[in-house]
């Protein structure tokens, strides 16, 4: 698609703008069909983004996206149309705003709730530097539940600066938005409630805007722009998620984000859903908590089967974690399912509420490891590091879905917290009873080398390398399925001089460091493979794994070297 200039947008008639939107939708649909990505949210925001690029002057003015997954039209309109076919491809443009990609991306994102705080910071810096431009935060209604948004709204009065907040309200988070905030938004839209909620926070409210119709959108944006001179403004815009493609309009949850290829392997989320239903059938204490990820985590069947024991609290990871802790304090057995990277939001609550009180919450941590095309903000490569030092916590790393089942069952018998981290895709395996802190020897041989591998990807990697070195080097292979506690007995009993560890996590602070700590002073020679000390961008998982620290060649070379040293 060719670039479209701001001059062109400014001169276009509404009919011409609609024509531009049609072309943008086609481009987005074509690219997402080929490359994967966020479809329905981007389709819904086309007119809104076009109108913003017409009314405001980017990059002089600053557009801050919340989450950022709805930025495709913005990228197409900001000198990246020619690169759009590379969306989410390694070396191509990111599916999220990134400061180092374009001056039009003034602030990056990937997680929810940051846009208003970020807009306030940029606006305050502008004021202090006596500069003059508009700052706009574009926030979906799903993010409006997030506590960070509320903290930022509370700060408007303190910071005394002017920003435009656009609430892009499609009634959907990833799943349909629920909760008090959403009910208030619906009431406001339907006119059964006035907009006091926002005015109470010192915001001028402009509502009743159809965000898919330029006739409604353009005057509203012009009005907002002129009000901005006097104070901060909230522009409440209704859009239709998935607009323009009937399948996407009718199935916005399914088309929120999707990959380019059909999924071949058994998925961990399906197994999670199945197994939690099984546990809930056996024990009435089982409850499930998620933060707006019911479908992605495989929990829809559980929510349908046990609606009274299933809680989707919206994009509120911190609240979800405290709620889980308190349900456990109240005698229940909560399973809190979440992506690895989003659990970072509840880090303090893991420590302060769950582990500090030694409560039997089971964390089901999906999307661990390199997840690929979503890039830096979605890689699950820090969880073993940030869970490694929390007292009372058990951390399990299943080698397949069968071990996931075993660990989920183990959660029922724990007298303290358990975290289980696993990738999205994986192989099926027989249900495996797992004992806390016990490793599994997968291959035993007489050798000076022992390899500890954690999780499905690394065990597969170790097996592949063993295969490729057949007849040359052999080693004992251990499924190191617990980071905490380690299998001290097994570790102490092994006599191998050379120890290699493999983990699908940052090399700093994870399994390698833990095993090295155990062997400290023992005279063993260790080499620990994990990810580099870098933010890992978007790309193909296999390629990124190779490039960022789990290189087959490097691991094989290490094994050969150890073998040669003998």
Q: Judged by CB under 8 A, does residue 247 bind its own copies?
A: no
Nearest to 522 by CA among 450, 440, 439: 450
User: Which segments within 255-324 are labelled E, that is strand?
Assistant: 266-267, 286-290, 310-312
190 is catalytic: no
Tokens read off for 270: 């399906």
CA separation for the pair 245, 123 (Å, rounded)? 37
Q: Judged by CB under 8 A, does residue 153 bind its own copies?
A: yes
What is the residue whose two structure tokens read 């900001």? 78
Tokens read off for 501: 């560890």
In angstroms, give the least distance from the CB of 252 to its own copies.
20
Residues 181-200 that bind its own copies (CB under 8 A): 181, 183-184, 193, 196-197, 200
CA separation for the pair 77, 97 (Å, rounded)? 13
Report the DSSP pairing between strands 476-479 and 440-443: antiparallel
Residues 202-241 that bind its own copies (CB under 8 A): 202
Residue of the chain from 136, 139, 152, 462 that contacts its own copies (CB under 8 A): 152
Which part of the chain contacts its own copies (CB under 8 A), choosing from 30-38, 139-147, 397-405, 486-494?
139-147
Which residue among the candidates 275, 317, 503, 545 is catalytic per the annotation?
A: 317
Residues 473-512 that bind its own copies (CB under 8 A): 506-509
Max CA pair span of the chain: 79
Residues 80-109 that bind its own copies (CB under 8 A): 99, 106-109
Nearest to 193 by CA among 178, 175, 180, 211: 180
Q: Judged by CB under 8 A, does residue 178 bind its own copies?
A: yes
23 is catalytic: no
**Residues 58-77: x/- map of binding to its own copies (CB under 8 A)?**
------x-------------
**Residues 333-352: x/- map of binding to its own copies (CB under 8 A)?**
---------x-xx-xxx-xx
User: Which of residues 265 and 520 has its CB atom nearest to its own copies in the complex?
Assistant: 520
Q: Judged by CB under 8 A, does residue 330 bind its own copies?
A: yes
User: Which segments within 75-154 are labelled E, that is strand?
Assistant: 135-140
In angstroms, give the least distance from the CB of 438 to its own copies.
19
Q: Judged by CB under 8 A, does residue 525 bind its own copies?
A: yes
Q: Judged by CB under 8 A, does residue 322 bind its own copies?
A: yes
Which residue among the candidates 241, 333, 457, 466 is catalytic per the annotation?
A: 241
Per the CB < 8 A criterion, the answer to whether 169 and 195 are in contact is no
Q: Identify the bridge partners of residue 335 per DSSP, sorted by sequence position.
A: 288, 362
**Residues 365-394: x/- map of binding to its own copies (CB under 8 A)?**
-----------xx----x--xx-xxxxx--
User: Which of residues 178 and 474 has its CB atom nearest to its own copies in the complex?
Assistant: 178
In angstroms, give the least distance from the CB of 116 to its own copies.
9
Number of residues that bind its own copies (CB under 8 A): 111
Per the CB < 8 A criterion, the answer to whether 66 and 139 are in contact is yes
CA separation for the pair 271, 269 (Å, rounded)? 5
Q: Is 346 exposed, middle or buried (0-12, 13-18, 19+ CB in 10 A)?
A: buried
Q: Judged by CB under 8 A, does residue 308 bind its own copies?
A: yes
Which residue among the candidates 189, 309, 345, 405 is catalytic per the annotation?
A: 345
Q: Judged by CB under 8 A, does residue 314 bind its own copies?
A: yes
User: Which of residues 285 and 438 has its CB atom nearest to its own copies in the complex?
Assistant: 285
Residues 431-470 that bind its own copies (CB under 8 A): none
Mutual angle of helices 115-128 and 147-159, in 10-degree steps: 20
User: Which of residues 29 and 133 has its CB atom nearest to its own copies in the complex?
Assistant: 133
Which part of the chain contacts its own copies (CB under 8 A), choosing from 38-46, 322-330, 431-439, 454-462?
322-330
User: Which of residues 120 and 220 has its CB atom nearest to its own copies in the complex?
Assistant: 120
* Helix H or strand E segment including 63: strand 62-65
**Residues 529-558: x/- map of binding to its own copies (CB under 8 A)?**
----xxx-----------------------
Report the DSSP pairing between strands 135-140 and 164-169: parallel
Q: Judged by CB under 8 A, does residue 10 bind its own copies?
A: no
345 is catalytic: yes
Contacts of 93 (CB under 8 A, 6+ apart): 75, 80, 83, 84, 86, 87, 101
The CA distances from residue 375 to 2, 235, 310, 393, 541, in Å, are 26, 30, 30, 29, 10
Nearest to 244 by CA among 209, 212, 210, 208: 212
């Amino acid at each position: 698609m060719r670039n479209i200039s701001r001059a062109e947008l400014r001169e276009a008639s509404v009919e011409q703008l609609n024509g531009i939107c049609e072309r943008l939708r086609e481009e987005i649909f074509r690219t997402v069909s080929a490359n994967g990505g966020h479809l329905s949210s981007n389709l819904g925001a086309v007119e809104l983004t076009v109108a913003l690029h017409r009314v405001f002057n980017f990059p002089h003015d600053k557009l801050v996206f919340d989450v950022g997954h709805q930025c495709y039209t913005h990228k197409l309109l900001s000198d990246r149309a020619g690169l759009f076919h590379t969306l989410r491809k390694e070396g191509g443009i990111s599916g999220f705003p990134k400061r180092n990609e374009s001056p039009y991306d003034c602030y990056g994102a990937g997680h929810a709730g940051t846009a208003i705080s970020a807009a306030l910071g940029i606006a305050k810096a502008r004021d202090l530097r006596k500069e003059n431009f508009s700052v706009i935060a574009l926030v979906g209604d799903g993010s409006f539940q997030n506590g960070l948004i509320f903290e930022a709204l509370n700060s408007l009065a303190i910071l005394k600066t002017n920003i435009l907040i656009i609430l892009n309200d499609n009634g959907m988070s990833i799943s349909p938005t629920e909760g008090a905030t959403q009910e208030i938004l619906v009431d406001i839209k339907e006119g059964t409630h006035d907009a006091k909620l926002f005015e109470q926070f010192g915001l001028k409210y402009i509502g009743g805007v159809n965000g898919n119709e330029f006739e409604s959108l353009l005057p509203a944006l012009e009005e907002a722009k002129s009000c901005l001179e006097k104070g901060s403004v909230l522009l409440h815009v209704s859009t239709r998620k998935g607009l323009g493609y009937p399948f996407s309009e009718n199935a916005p949850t399914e088309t929120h984000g999707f990959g380019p290829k059909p999924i071949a392997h058994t998925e961990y989320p399906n197994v999670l859903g199945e197994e939690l239903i099984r546990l809930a059938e056996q024990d009435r204490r089982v409850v499930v908590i998620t933060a707006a990820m019911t479908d992605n985590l495989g929990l829809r069947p559980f929510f349908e089967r046990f609606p009274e024991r299933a809680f989707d609290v919206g994009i509120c990871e911190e609240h979800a974690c405290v709620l889980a802790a308190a349900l456990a304090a109240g005698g229940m057995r909560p399973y809190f399912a979440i992506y690895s990277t989003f659990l970072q939001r509840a880090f303090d609550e893991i420590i302060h509420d769950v582990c500090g009180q030694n409560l039997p919450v089971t964390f089901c941590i999906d999307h661990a490891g390199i997840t690929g095309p979503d890039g830096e903000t979605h890689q699950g490569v820090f969880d073993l590091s940030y869970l490694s030092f929390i007292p009372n916590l058990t951390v399990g790393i299943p080698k397949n879905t069968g071990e996931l089942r075993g660990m989920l069952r183990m959660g029922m018998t724990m007298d303290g917290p358990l975290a289980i981290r696993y990738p999205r895709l994986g192989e099926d395996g027989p249900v495996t009873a797992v004992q806390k802190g016990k490793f599994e020897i997968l291959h035993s041989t007489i050798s000076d080398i022992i390899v500890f591998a954690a999780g499905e990807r690394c065990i597969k990697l170790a097996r592949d390398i063993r295969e490729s070195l057949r007849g040359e080097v052999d080693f004992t292979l251990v499924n190191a399925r617990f980071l905490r506690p380690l299998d001290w007995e097994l570790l102490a009993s092994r006599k191998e001089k050379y120890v290699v560890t493999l983990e699908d996590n940052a090399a700093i602070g994870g399994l390698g460091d833990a095993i090295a700590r155990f062997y400290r002073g023992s005279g063993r020679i260790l080499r620990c493979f994990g990810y580099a000390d870098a933010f890992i961008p978007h790309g193909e998982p296999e390629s990124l794994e190779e490039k960022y620290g789990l290189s087959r060649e490097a691991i094989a070379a290490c094994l050969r070297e150890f073998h040669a040293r003998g």
